[in-house]
């Protein structure tokens, strides 16, 4: 009933938008998920695609015509999107599936001579904007990029957040602002650039050792930065600037300006020398402003790779934080196993229990993303969100998947575990065991320097591919330091979509390791540990690399079938559980230690 009501609203909104399109001579209107900074998670103010489609996933793009509308999203959200779009009149386009055109391919085929494609250029990247510009020209159509039609029909739109900005204690950053600016300018010089324009929020936060609260679960402030050879400018919302922050800025090599001034600043400025911009992150609108008076170098933000390679102080803090966070996961597992079937539980109450354990932990700032807690078939939706209106009751049977994490003063965490709540099928055990085998094989992986995650993905995916099973997502993503839980350019995946970045795995890069199985209408399984890339031995064959584990939480032995495991897989699991006991038991009560030794007992 709720979904039907939502899609009645969606239909009315589409009608209103189409009337505006007709009035303004627009044939195609394109709406993204993004904010003005290409952030992965858009705050409520920016959720135009969700407002217009009813689809709540974190990735998706909507293309509206007078008679048709299509939504493109990736494999994480196929099941969810099918449910949420039901009855809306919007067609689901499953990205990267055989025979499914990309948005660009669809427009290439359908945009006719003289027709107009319109969008808000602040919400698409410079790279994608250039592609659409070329496509429109080739089809003899028009591209209008400075228009926001949704703003005209969105009544009671949420306010744009402007929470206080604060500086991190210098002793947990490892490098001060001056040192980081020097590193960035050196990289700029290597690329023959005299100036750099940044709009990627976590890059800006990292560079200036500051944090904010303008994006849910991401401690970032809406901002822009301009770096020249001699000066650095930081553009912030006026409401976000406190007296304490003003006092701190006076001690730093930077000048603060108002957030809204960035367009005028770029419009009026003729930079001395070339301007470096990241076409995959800077908005198309700002790119066009810079292009009017300046020579541009399109390249990755130098801040991105510098931020990805965590320094020794950052890693020291993260190790401490992950021990505290792993203790939280252990206590949740004990509570869940001890009380399932006797205490009333739902997906919502279980998630709240986990969240409250984190909130009671020293140094906790916020969740690193909304906790995913899926029971039975709901777990097959990778980014499922239970709500008070729509959730399942937990029973002493089947499996529960919980994916969660925290922001702490000292690190960002992310962990997933899947638990048996009672009787499970043999298929579930087989799938779970294969996932564990793959996760631990990747964790134990050894490789020559120069490999990217593309070279290593098969270690995690192999046991599932052997069974003819796959999961429609990557195996791992980078993790930020008191920053975004999803960070690039480092990742682990076998297949690369157009525009996706790839990086050599460097010492100090932090990555997730999370293979899974997702069977629609039945069950979902994911096991996720976080790991740090480290150097192993160096010999005549080159520099070997490996991983250090940060996550130490039990893997549910009630779901393990040793009959399908190789000897090395049993050894890997036993070794991992010995480390869990060694690392976490000193933080526990005696009762908890007895429990931990039992759930981490040796098998095989």
What is the pLDDT at residue 1?
37
How far apart (Å, rounded) are the C-alpha atoms in residues 465 and 365? 39
How far apart (Å, rounded) are the C-alpha atoms in residues 504 and 490? 7
Residue pLDDT, tens place only, 335-382: 999 999 999 999 999 999 999 999 999 999 999 999 999 999 999 988
Residue 383 has pLDDT above 90, yes or no: no
Residue pLDDT, tens place only, 544-562: 999 999 999 999 999 999 9
What is the CATH code of the structural domain delimited by 309-599? 3.90.230.10
What is the pLDDT at residue 6?
58
User: Containing H/E element for 544?
Assistant: strand 542-549
How do the domains of the chain map onto residue ranges? Answer: 2-153, 166-307, 309-599
**DSSP code per residue over 209-276:** TEE--SBTTB---SEEEEE-SS-EEEEE-GGG--HHHHHHHTTSS-EEEEGGGHHHHHHH---SS-EE
What is the DSSP-derived secondary structure letter of residue 473?
Answer: S
Q: Which candidate, 439, 458, 455, places its Cα nearest to that of 545? A: 455
Residue pLDDT, tens place only, 117-169: 999 999 999 999 999 999 999 999 999 999 999 999 999 999 999 999 999 99
Collapsed DSSP state (helix, strand, coil) of residue 36: coil
Residue pLDDT, tens place only, 298-323: 999 999 999 999 999 999 999 999 99
Average pLDDT score, the chain: 95
Q: Which candidate, 309, 282, 271, places its Cα nearest to that of 187? A: 309
How far apart (Å, rounded) are the C-alpha atoms in residues 91 and 81? 10
Q: Distances from the Cα of 339 to the Cαs of 249, 330, 483, in angstroms?
A: 51, 14, 34
What is the pLDDT at residue 76?
80
Residue 247 has pLDDT above 70, yes or no: yes
Q: Which candidate, 130, 59, 136, places its Cα nearest to that of 96? A: 59
Give the range among 75-84, 114-123, 221-230, 443-452 with minimum mean pLDDT. Answer: 75-84
Rg, C-alpha atoms of the chain = 25
User: Containing H/E element for 542?
Assistant: strand 542-549
Residue 40 has pLDDT above 90, yes or no: no
Q: Given pLDDT bands bounded at 50, 70 and 90, which one contains residue 384?
A: confident
User: Containing H/E element for 487?
Assistant: strand 487-492
Give the strand pairing for 116-119 and 28-31.
Answer: parallel
- Its CATH architecture, for the domain 2-153, is 3-Layer(aba) Sandwich (3.40)
How far apart (Å, rounded) are the C-alpha atoms in residues 548 and 534? 7
Q: How many residues does the chain have?
A: 604
How far apart (Å, rounded) are the C-alpha atoms in residues 483 and 305? 14
Residue 522 has pLDDT above 60, yes or no: yes
Residue pLDDT, tens place only, 388-433: 888 999 999 999 999 999 999 999 999 999 999 999 999 999 999 9
CA dihedral 372, 375, 378, 383 (to 10 degrees): 10
Residue pLDDT, tens place only, 490-520: 999 998 776 678 899 999 999 999 999 999 9
Residue pLDDT, tens place only, 92-122: 999 989 999 999 999 999 999 999 999 999 9
Best CATH choice for the domain 166-307 from the list 1.10.10.10, 3.40.350.10, 3.30.2130.10, 3.10.180.10: 3.40.350.10
Q: Do domains 2-153 and 166-307 have the same CATH topology?
A: yes
What is the pLDDT at residue 2?
43
Cα-Cα-Cα-Cα dihedral sign, residues 320, 325, 330, 334 = positive
What is the pLDDT at residue 330?
98
């Amino acid at each position: 009933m709720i979904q039907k009501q939502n899609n009645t609203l969606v239909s009315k909104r589409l009608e209103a938008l189409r009337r505006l399109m007709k009035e303004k001579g627009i044939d195609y209107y394109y709406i993204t998920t993004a904010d003005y900074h290409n952030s992965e998670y858009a705050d409520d103010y920016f959720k135009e695609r969700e407002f217009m489609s009813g689809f709540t996933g974190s990735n998706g793009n909507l293309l509206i015509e007078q008679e048709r509308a299509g939504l493109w999203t990736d494999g994480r959200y196929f099941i969810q999107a099918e449910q949420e779009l039901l009855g809306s009149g919007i067609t689901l386009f499953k990205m990267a599936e055989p025979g499914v055109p990309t948005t660009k391919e669809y427009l290439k085929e359908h945009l006719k001579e003289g027709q107009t494609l319109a969008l808000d250029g602040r919400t698409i990247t410079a790279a994608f904007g250039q592609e659409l510009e070329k496509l429109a020209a080739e089809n003899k159509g028009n591209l209008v990029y400075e228009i926001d039609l949704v703003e005209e029909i969105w009544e009671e739109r949420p306010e744009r957040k402007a929470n206080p900005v604060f500086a991190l204690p210098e002793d947990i950053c490892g490098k001060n602002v001056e040192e980081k600016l020097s590193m960035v300018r050196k990289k700029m010089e290597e690329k023959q650039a005299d100036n750099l324009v940044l709009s990627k929020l976590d890059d800006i936060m990292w560079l200036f050792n500051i944090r904010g609260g303008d994006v849910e679960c991401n401690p970032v402030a809406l901002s822009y930065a301009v770096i020249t050879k001699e000066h650095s400018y930081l553009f912030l919302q006026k409401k976000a600037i406190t007296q304490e922050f003003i006092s701190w800025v006076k001690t730093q090599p930077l000048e603060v300006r108002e957030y809204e001034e960035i367009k005028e600043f770029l419009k009026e400025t003729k930079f001395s020398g070339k301007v470096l911009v990241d076409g995959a992150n800077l908005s198309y609108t700002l790119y066009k402003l810079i292009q009017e008076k300046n020579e541009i170098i399109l390249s990755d933000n130098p801040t991105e790779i510098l931020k990805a390679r965590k320094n020794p102080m950052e890693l020291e803090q993260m190790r401490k934080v992950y021990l505290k966070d792993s203790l939280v996961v252990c206590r949740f597992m004990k509570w869940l196993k001890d009380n399932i079937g006797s205490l009333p539980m739902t997906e919502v109450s279980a998630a709240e229990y986990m969240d409250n354990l984190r909130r009671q932990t020293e140094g906790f700032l916020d969740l690193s993303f909304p906790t995913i807690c899926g029971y039975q078939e709901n777990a097959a939706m990778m980014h499922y969100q239970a709500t008070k209106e729509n959730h399942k009751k937990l029973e002493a049977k089947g499996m529960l998947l919980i994916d969660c994490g925290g922001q702490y003063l000292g690190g960002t965490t992310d962990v997933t575990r899947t638990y048996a709540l009672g009787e499970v099928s043999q298929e579930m055990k087989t799938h779970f065991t294969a996932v564990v085998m793959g996760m631990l094989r990747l964790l134990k992986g050894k490789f020559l320097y120069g490999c990217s995650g593309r070279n290593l993905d098969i270690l995690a995916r192999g046991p599932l591919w052997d069974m003819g099973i796959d999961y429609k997502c990557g195996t791992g993503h980078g993790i930020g330091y008191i920053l975004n839980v999803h960070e690039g350019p480092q990742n682990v995946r076998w297949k690369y979509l157009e525009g996706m970045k790839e990086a050599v795995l460097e010492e100090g890069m932090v990555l997730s390791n999370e293979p899974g199985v997702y069977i629609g209408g039945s069950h979902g399984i994911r096991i996720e540990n976080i790991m740090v890339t480290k150097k192993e031995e160096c010999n005549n064959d080159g520099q070997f690399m490996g991983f250090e584990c940060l996550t130490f939480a039990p893997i549910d032995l009630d779901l393990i079938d040793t009959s399908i495991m190789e000897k090395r897989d049993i050894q890997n699991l036993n070794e991992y559980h010995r480390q869990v006991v060694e690392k976490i038991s000193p933080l526990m009560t005696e009762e908890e230690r007895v429990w931990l030794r039992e759930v981490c007992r040796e098998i095989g």
